[in-house]
Structure 1
């Protein structure tokens, strides 16, 4: 099951970069001009920086996505040093 959300922020690139640097010691990561990817054992997290938002997509191989969604948003909150309230869409 895939999950997506959009975080309203004008610091998307900085937050994305911080999370990538934080997790690159634990997971394989990839970065392009358009997006950043974090390859976890059972999921791939894609962060796409926009001018006014950060788009987050979790491609999860397991049905229980709520835990991973919470882990990702908790880490993004820490990297941004603020609390984002998000609503996940499931596909």
Structure 2
């Protein structure tokens, strides 16, 4: 199951870069000009920074994506130094 959310922030690029640097010691990562990917054992997390928001896509191989959503959001909050409130969309 895939999930997506959009985080309203003007610091999307900085937050994304910090999370990639944080997780690159644990997971394989890939960066391009438009997005970054984190390759976890059962999921791929794609971060796409924009001027006013950060798009987050979790491509999960398992049905229960709720725990991974919480983990990703908690890490994004930590990297940003603030608490984001988000709505996840599942598809």
Equivalences for residues 55-74 of structure 1 within 5 A: 55-74=55-74
Residue 51 of structure 1 and its aligned partner are, at CA, apart by 0.7
Match for residue 19 of structure 1? 19
**What's the CA shift string for 1:6-65, capped at 9, x where partnerless?**
000000000000000000000000000000000000000000001100000000000000
Match for residue 2 of structure 2? 2
Tell me, in whole angstroms, the C-alpha distance in 1 between the residues paired with 2:34 and 2:86: 22
Alignment root-mean-square deviation, CA: 0.2
Unmatched 5+ stretches in structure 2: none
Tell me, in whole angstroms, the C-alpha distance in 1 between the residues paired with 2:66 and 2:2: 11
Q: Aligned pair count?
A: 91
Unmatched 5+ stretches in structure 1: none
TM-score, length of structure 1 as denominator length: 1.00
